[in-house]
Amino acid sequence: MSEALSHTLDHHLDTLTPQLTAWRRDFHQYAESGWVEFRTASIVAEELDRLGYAVTLGRDVVDETSRMGVPDADTLAREEARAKAQGAIERWLPQLSGGFTGVIGVLDTGRPGPTIGYRIDLDALDLEESREETHRPAQQGFGSKNAGMMHACGHDGHTTIGLGLARLFKTLESELSGRIKLIFQPAEEGVRGARSMVEAGTLDDVDIFIATHIGTGVPRGEVVCGQDGYLATTKLDVAYTGVPAHAGGKPEEGRNALLAAAQAAVGLHAIPRHSAGVSRINVGVLNAGSGRNVVPASATMKIETRGENTAINEEMRRRAIDVIEGAARMHGVSVEYHLAGEADTCTSSPELVDYIHGRLQGLPGIEVITPSINEPSGSEDATCMMKRVQDRGGLATYMVFGTELAAGHHHQCFDFDEDVLPLAVRSLAHLAFNIDLPGARHDR
């Protein structure tokens, strides 16, 4: 990149930085869980449209039947009304309605060049945010206004980075070639959303794909060009149905769904670890029963299995289902379960990792540039997007921008150092100018 362009980028970033903080705090305050990101998605669509991007959203970018773990219709309607009351941009709501909360903005320079796609996730977690004074969002008045929903994984930062990129690319459009595709994805938590965007064909024209996360244990000032080792995972919703009865008078006539679920929860965590690699199990939610003196006739659980590779996760899933069904038989209740999310592992494209590693050298604010790491920890459904791009001959990677965290991901006191926002925008934008990556562009 020429020195003049570099200066121009820095200059625009300086003016943009207060807006980045404002966006982040606004999204943080109005945290929205997977498939109900109505307000967030509408603001994204409005900004992209205002800037002159070609905007597609809703059913055009989210395949209905490939969505996983979608809330019920009542919840969707209630959350849409909530979003409207909280300032969602109403003209986009008809398309987003019903949980079709994906948005894509395309900037076509009209000059030949690759299509570079950035994955930005929009959703918050199902978690109640801390109201303690020591928690900065609470102290500074931008804690979540939405009960049981909290940006405790940094996606408020991701959405902000996406909008920051949109502004920078538009301002410097004359210096770009090819196409920029900003892909705002719903429901990353629970790995429920990416596949629906892949199945809608939105990745099929992407030559270079970059998914991004902030934090994840990477220190401030460090950038990882290719984070690998995401765990294959299966999410299951489980429902036990028994028979209610008088707990004092006729307990033997009841069939206890609470006990089946409790038995299953303990049994699931007792599945042995796998010698061939990392494995995980978690029962994240268990709700059961209706009243103190009634034999509990219903119980629901949300569980997940994970494995370092597909085979290990498959083994965990199979054994989990044995435990779930076994517990039902033990207590004479019926059980139903269904898939609520699914993602696989993926490996970043070495050529792209090398290219990014080279291009980030000397950028302000970056102290350590790590080419690639493979450390099994969490899961990611961006892997599904990466795989689609790679299968079609494109290059894909998963980048991490380190930042200082107040508490770990998925903790009620999670918060990050907002300095990472301009740094990530600067770095991700930089990669799109003067792309010189042979083999990245395929003829179409």
Q: What are phi and psi of 172, to 5 degrees?
A: -110, 25
Binding of ligand IAD by 153 (CB under 6 A): yes
- Smallest CA-to-CA distance from 213 within 224, 203, 221 is with 224
Note the residue count of the chain.
444
For ligand IAD, the closer of residues 95 and 383 by Cβ is: 383
Smallest separation (angstroms) from ligand IAD to the CB of 51: 28
For ligand IAD, the closer of residues 392 and 410 by Cβ is: 410
What does DSSP say about strands 279-288 and 149-150: parallel, antiparallel, or unpaired?
unpaired
Output the DSSP codes for 375-441: ------THHHHHHHHHHTT-EEEEEEE---BSS-TTSTT--B-TTHHHHHHHHHHHTTTT---TTS-
Smallest separation (angstroms) from ligand IAD to the CB of 189: 5
For ligand IAD, the closer of residues 177 and 377 by Cβ is: 377
For ligand IAD, the closer of residues 47 and 342 by Cβ is: 342
- Smallest CA-to-CA distance from 100 within 136, 66, 61 is with 61
For ligand IAD, the closer of residues 107 and 400 by Cβ is: 400
Smallest separation (angstroms) from ligand IAD to the CB of 379: 4
For ligand IAD, the closer of residues 185 and 263 by Cβ is: 185
Smallest separation (angstroms) from ligand IAD to the CB of 116: 22
Q: Cα-atom radius of gyration of the chain, to the nearest Å?
A: 23
Smallest separation (angstroms) from ligand IAD to the CB of 229: 9
Q: Which stretch binds ligand IAD (CB under 6 A): 331-339, 378-386, 414-422, 423-431?
A: 378-386
For ligand IAD, the closer of residues 158 and 255 by Cβ is: 158
Q: Which stretch binds ligand IAD (CB under 6 A): 48-56, 310-318, 371-379, 414-422?
A: 371-379
For ligand IAD, the closer of residues 80 and 189 by Cβ is: 189
Distance CA 442, CA 6 (A): 28
What is the CB neighbour count within 10 angstroms for residue 320? 23
Binding ligand IAD (rule: CB under 6 A), the pick from 29, 33, 233, 234 is 233
For ligand IAD, the closer of residues 89 and 424 by Cβ is: 424
Binding of ligand IAD by 429 (CB under 6 A): no
Task: Say if residues 156 and 20 touch (Cβ distance below 8 Å).
Answer: no
Smallest separation (angstroms) from ligand IAD to the CB of 34: 9
Distance CA 245, CA 200 (A): 48
Output the DSSP codes for 24-64: HHHHHHT--BTT--HHHHHHHHHHHHHHT-EEEEGGGTS-G
Binding of ligand IAD by 33 (CB under 6 A): no
Smallest separation (angstroms) from ligand IAD to the CB of 217: 6
Distance CA 112, CA 444 (A): 12
What is the CB neighbour count within 10 angstroms for residue 367? 10
Binding ligand IAD (rule: CB under 6 A), the pick from 80, 380, 415, 418 is 380
Using CB under 6 A, count the residues that bind ligand IAD: 12
Binding of ligand IAD by 377 (CB under 6 A): yes
For ligand IAD, the closer of residues 90 and 404 by Cβ is: 404
Q: Pick out residues in 161-220 that bind ligand IAD (CB under 6 A).
A: 189-191, 216-217
User: Which whole-number Å values give the CA distances from 169 to 105, 165, 183, 263, in the listed order?
Assistant: 11, 6, 14, 54
Q: Which amino acid is at 24?
A: R
Binding of ligand IAD by 370 (CB under 6 A): no
Binding of ligand IAD by 295 (CB under 6 A): no
Task: Say if residues 437 and 355 touch (Cβ distance below 8 Å).
Answer: yes
Burial 181-208 (b: 16+ CB within 10 A, else e): bbbbbbbbbbbbbbbbbbbbebbebbbb
Q: Which stretch binds ligand IAD (CB under 6 A): 8-16, 35-43, 241-249, 375-383?
A: 375-383
Say how many CA atoms lie within 13 Å of 297 toward its Cβ.
13
DSSP run (H or E) holding 273: none
Smallest separation (angstroms) from ligand IAD to the CB of 1: 31
Q: Pick out residues in 393-422 that bind ligand IAD (CB under 6 A).
A: 409
Distance CA 111, CA 282 (A): 49
For ligand IAD, the closer of residues 216 and 390 by Cβ is: 216
Binding of ligand IAD by 156 (CB under 6 A): no
Smallest separation (angstroms) from ligand IAD to the CB of 230: 6
User: Which whole-number Å values give the CA distances from 30 to 122, 216, 314, 354, in the listed order?
Assistant: 11, 22, 37, 38
Smallest separation (angstroms) from ligand IAD to the CB of 250: 42
Binding site for ligand IAD (CB under 6 A): 153, 189-191, 216-217, 233, 377-380, 409
